[in-house]
Structure 1
Amino acid sequence: MPDIKVTYFNGRGLGELIRYLLKYGDIDFEDIRIEMDNWPALKASTPFGQLPLYEENGKVASQSLAIARYIAKKVNLAGDDEWQNLEIDALADTLTDFRLKLYPFYHESDPEKKEALKQTLLSETVPYYFERFEKNITKNNGYLAANKLTWVDFFFATSLDSLTRILGVNVGEKYEGSSKLKKKVEELPAIKTWIASRPETPF
């Protein structure tokens, strides 16, 4: 078995997708968690000054989605052909676009401005994306792409979890397909076991 390490902050965020995929594939790994206070001293030693990092037999890679694609091939969560992989990648990039729209709200310190940003997210941004996610889920028999369970469904589930924690609102409950897909991922035996045993973290 390869010697695998996953390094991320002491939270879920982008690191959780990698953890989900490894747990799903029953691949052992060392779950290294960096406290925020220790990050500045470690940042310069990382390839591009960011986390997560994936290490396998001494070789290190960054970029969460590239890592996810790599693991997905190992655990049979990639597409069956290049077109399906294109569909999966397109949805993953769309999820990233959506996540980036949360950043101004997440980093805003002024309470009034923060509340205004939140309302815009809930009334405009979330409906725009989730109405389209719902169409994809309906078209793909309950999954986001490829008519089957793929790694982008894991990315969707962890992103929806992050969104709920950031906004303090379960935005997925309004969207039946999205809620069912998140639950489907979280009810997979390996993921269910991980969720029950993972550390409680602030994000």
Structure 2
Amino acid sequence: MANSKITLNYFDIKGRAEIIRLVLTWAGKDFVDNRISREDWPALKPKSPFGQLPYVEIDGKVYGQSLAISNFFAREFNLYGKSNLDGLIIDQVAQLTEDFIQEIVKVIRAADPETKAANQKKVQEEAAPKFWGFYEKLLKESSGQYFVGDEVTLADLIAFDVVTGFVSDFTLPLPDSYPLLTALVETIGNNDNIKAYKAKQQ
């Protein structure tokens, strides 16, 4: 994988591809961040494995599904813990986040402005505090500052993405009442690779 050529294909937004970008960036792996315009997507769609984005090209071969891709790269770059139990903890965070995202989807797909506003209010007042609380609980149960002890894993990058990525467009800012999650996000955000990547996106 060290010498593999990687191209990540997605729209020019954070969305479902951001966690993949974060994993590769954290690992210091060079990759082509191919950002596709919505106008160009219909012509490129047949090239994608399942007719959707994101998809990744690794040495010319194409793979789809954002969770599968992020999990693969996390394993390749030693961000999936050291045991199956570590992997279970990481998978918990990933699955919780998928549940959280489904609440966001209800806002995006609302049929009318009233439903959209109601769903948005529910995300801000109910869903976000609930899931932030779940992350905080798992961090309290950890033996270190991260979800899996004292080593950064995919789980930490997922939580960072939740607080700084597209999910945050639908929530209020993370309050101080989640100190462990706040500290985690600050630590990940202060990584040199992540800081450089974020600076380029502004």
Question: How far 1:147 moved relative to its partner?
Answer: 5.0
Q: CA deviation at 1:90?
A: 2.1
| Moved >6 Å (runs of 4+) | none
**Conservation of the 8 A alpha-carbon contact between 1:79 and 1:146:** no
CA distance in 2 between partners of 1:45 and 1:51 (Å): 11
Question: Which of 50, 53, 58 in structure 2 is aligned with 1:51?
Answer: 53
**CA positional deviation for 1:146:** 4.8
* Mapped partners of 1:15, 1:76: distance in 2: 19
Once the two structures are TM-superposed, the CA of residue 121 in structure 1 deviates from its matched residue by 1.5
Identify the residue that residue 110 of structure 1 maps to in structure 2. Answer: 112
* Distance across 1 between alignment mates of 2:39 and 2:178: 38
How far residue 33 of structure 1 moved from its aligned partner, in angstroms, is 0.6
Select which of 117, 120, 123 maps to 1:121: 123
1:11 aligns with 2:23: no
Q: How far apart, in 2, do the equivalents of 1:163 and 1:172 lie?
A: 15
8 Å CA contact 1:21, 1:154 repeated in 2: yes
Q: Which residue number corresponds to residue 32 of structure 1?
A: 34
Deviation sequence 1:75-127 (CA, Å, 0-9, x none) = 22111011111221122111111111111112336332222112212222122
| Equivalent pairs, count | 198
**2:94/2:155 contact within 8 Å kept:** yes
* CA deviation map 1:149-180 (0-9, x unaligned): 1012111111222222234x214554222222
Change (3 A) 1:7 1:136: same
1:143 matched residue in structure 2: 146
Q: Percent identity?
A: 30
Q: State the match for 1:86 in structure 2.
A: 88
The match for 2:195 is: 192
**TM-score, normalised to structure 1's length?**
0.89
Distance 2:37 2:179 in 1: 36
Which amino acid is 2:53 matched to? Answer: L
C-alpha spacing 1:77/1:52, structure 2 compared with 1 (3 Å):
same
Q: Quick one: which amino acid aligns to residue 135 of structure 1?
A: K
Is 1:179 the counterpart of 2:148? The answer is no
TM-score by length of 2: 0.89
- Inter-CA distance 53–92: structure 2 relative to 1 (3 Å threshold): same
Give 1:163's match in structure 2, choosing from 158, 161, 167: 167
Q: Which amino acid aligns with 1:142?
A: Q
The 3-state SS of whatever aligns with 2:47 is: coil
Q: Which runs of 5+ in 2 are unaligned?
A: none
Q: Cα RMSD (Å) of the superposition?
A: 1.8
Name the amino acid aligned to 1:148: E
Unaligned 5+ runs, structure 1:
none
Q: Distance in 2 between matches of 1:39 and 1:145?
A: 38
CA distance in 2, matches of 1:16, 1:82: 25
Amino acid in the other structure paired with 1:119: K
Q: Would you say the 8 A contact 1:9–1:35 is kept in 2?
A: yes
